[in-house]
Amino acid sequence: MTDSPTSLGSPDSPTRVLVLNSGSSSLKYQLLDMADASRLAVGLVERIGEADPRLVHTPRSGGKRERTGGFADHAAALAAVSEELAADGLGLDSPALAAFGHRVVHGGSRFGEPVVVDDGVEAEIERLVPLAPLHNPANLTGIRTARELRPDLPQVAVFDTAFHRTMPEYAARYAIDVATADEHLIRRYGFHGTSHAYVSRKCAALLGKDPADVNVIVLHLGNGASASAVAGGRCVDTSMGMTPLEGLVMGTRSGDIDPAVPLHLQRAAGMSVDETDELLNKRSGLTGLCGDNDMREILRRSDAGDQRARLAFDVYIHRLKKYIGAYAAVLGRVDAVAFTAGVGENAAAVREAAVAGLEPLGLSVDPERNTVRSDEPRIISQDGARVVVAVVPTDEELEIAQQTFALVGTENVRKNEIRTPLS
């Protein structure tokens, strides 16, 4: 995969991709033109099926527009999106549209690459619902809605788990009874894969190297957070597991925890399975530790002397450091550490604290470079440092569009090759 526009072989070939991220009551979208990787429009429909749904649409030309009401389901929401795009001359019936690219959270062990959705792929995504009960059904709704609207166009599923499929078996296995694990599809899948793929590749480009020649630790620190160890462009370990709950301390998720804790809560505190789930996913992490999940607020409180906020920050940083050290050991040689997502891109204090004391591993940040604000990928370690520390803004929608377009382009070329001898 490259960041340069891919040619479909003809100047009239369609080059637009509509990226859809369908949630249970929301639909996020971006229309990209892959001729120059530009964004033609972005938007969001929220509270679909609820009392006060809302669509916010922003075309490239600017001028944010809002609509309320009338979105009883995802089909109505997508129809409204289509109308908004048509008003900008970007209708979904346009021959310029090459494909839809759908974010799908769980691809299980089956999907290591993006795929064009057919009935079999839909059924497989459905089969994986027990692994992602909130996300996969919502993603499927988006796919089905788009297939109904444009049955003639390729609908490409891009999986959050796919980039991590290259993890060796010993990194993907939990040390539990193998037969039980296999029967219930229990293994480490990892998430945020499109971000880890994009950032590790961009980081190699920042170093002026081929991804195949670079070992990177990617730290995706947003409201959800995950780390990955990427060796020569391939993921060899990642911190999220069967679900996005494992690993780093997150906004509201605990990350790593003794597996006996939920058992204890159920036995000794009488908590139900759902209550335990809710505690670990929604009332833990930074929120659980100090009542706030926003790193800006935690830094502000901590600077003002608030001890709970300070402890939350320290727990967060301690876990992060442990993963950096672990992945340095997994990789053997580390060329770069890349910070990304809301916290990673914006919180200089987190970056500074995460590498403080790791000088023996070759890691440090230059205080001045670290505090420069920019939307561009940038190096924040000193020149000549053994390990480059970088900030690399992520772009999951662009990655989904690129993967979609590359697949559709390949399919088109293949079809042309088959057609040529017959025509």
Count of residues near ligand AMP by CB under 6 A: 12
Least distance between ligand AMP and beta carbon 236 (Å): 24
Judge whether 28 is annotated as a binding position.
yes
> How far apart are the two ends of the chain, measured CA to CA in Å?
31
Binding mask 239-278 for ligand AMP (x = CB under 6 A): ------------x---------------------------
Rounded to a whole number of angstroms, the minimum distance from the CB of residue 342 to ligand AMP is: 2
How, if at all, do strands 215-221 and 54-59 pair? unpaired
Which residue in 43, 59, 222, 362 binds ligand AMP (CB under 6 A)?
A: 222
Q: Is 396 marked within a binding site?
A: yes
Integer CA distances (angstroms), 354 to 22, 138, 339, in order: 33, 35, 10
Residues 187-206 that bind ligand AMP (CB under 6 A): none
Sign of the Cα pseudo-torsion (3, 395, 247, 268, in order)? negative
Q: What is the CA radius of gyration of the chain?
A: 22
- CA 240 – CA 225 distance, rounded (Å): 8
Q: Using CB under 6 A, pick the residue from 219, 280, 295, 387 that binds ligand AMP.
A: 295
**Is there a binding annotation on residue 222?**
yes
Does 148 carry a binding-site annotation? no
Burial of 83 (0-12, 13-18, 19+ CB in 10 A): middle
Q: Please select the residue that binds ligand AMP; options are 13, 25, 26, 223, rule is CB under 6 A.
A: 223
Binding of ligand AMP at residue 353 (CB under 6 A)?
Answer: no
Complex with ligand AMP: residue 214 or 295, whichever CB lies closer: 295
Q: Which stretch binds ligand AMP (CB under 6 A): 26-34, 256-264, 312-320, 341-349?
A: 341-349
346 touches ligand AMP by CB under 6 A: yes
> What is the helix (H) or strand (E) element at residue 219, kind and residue range?
strand 215-221
**Is 414 a binder of ligand AMP (CB under 6 A)?**
no
| Annotated catalytic residue within 33, 160, 237, 395 | 160
Q: Which residue is nearest to ligand AMP (CB)?
A: 342
Closest CB to ligand AMP among 243 and 293? Answer: 293
List b or e across 259-283, with b for residues whose CB sees 16 or more CB atoms inside 10 angstroms.
Answer: eeebeebeeeeebeeeebeebbbee
Residue (264 or 300) nearer to ligand AMP, CB: 300
Name which of 243, 241, 247 is nearest 226 in CA terms.
247
Q: Can residue 167 be called a binding residue for ligand AMP (CB under 6 A)?
A: no
Q: Provide, rounded to whole angstroms, the least separation between the CB of residue 296 and ligand AMP.
A: 4
* 73 DSSP assignment: S
Query: Given the complex with ligand AMP, which of 33 and 160 has the nearer CB atom?
Result: 160
Residue with the two structure tokens 């520390």: 389
The response to whether 220 counts as a known ligand-binding position is: yes
Active site residue 160: yes
Give the one residue of 203, 216, 341, 401 binding ligand AMP; rule: CB under 6 A.
341
Q: How far is the CB of 340 from ligand AMP (least distance, A)?
A: 8
Residue whose CB is less far from ligand AMP, 23 or 222: 222
CA distance linking residue 308 with residue 291, whole number of Å = 9
Residue 346 has phi, psi (to 5 degrees) of: -115, -25
Task: State the burial class of residue 68 (Cβ atoms within 10 Å of its Cβ: 0-12, 13-18, 19+).
Answer: exposed
Nearer to ligand AMP, 30 or 412 (CB): 30
Sorted by sequence, the CB contacts under 8 Å of residue 48 that are 6+ apart come out as: 25, 26, 27, 71, 72, 73, 74, 76, 77
Task: For strands 97-104 and 16-22, give the pairing.
Answer: parallel
Q: Min. distance of Cβ 199 from ligand AMP in angstroms?
A: 12
Helix (H) or strand (E) holding 235: strand 234-238
Helix (H, G, I), strand (E, B) or coil at 104: strand
What's the rounded Cα separation, in Å, for the pair 320 and 187? Answer: 22
> Do 160 and 192 form a contact (C-beta atoms < 8 A)?
yes
**Which residue's CB is nearer to ligand AMP, number 199 or number 295?**
295
Q: Which of 347, 353, 363, 408 binds ligand AMP (CB under 6 A)?
A: 347
User: Residue 27: phi, psi to the nearest 5?
Assistant: -145, 110
Binding residues for substrate: 103
Binding residues for ATP: 28, 220-224, 294-296, 342-346
Q: What is the binding site for ligand AMP (CB under 6 A)?
A: 222-223, 251, 293-296, 341-343, 346-347
Please identify every residue annotated as catalytic: 160
Binding residues: 21, 28, 103, 220-224, 294-296, 342-346, 396
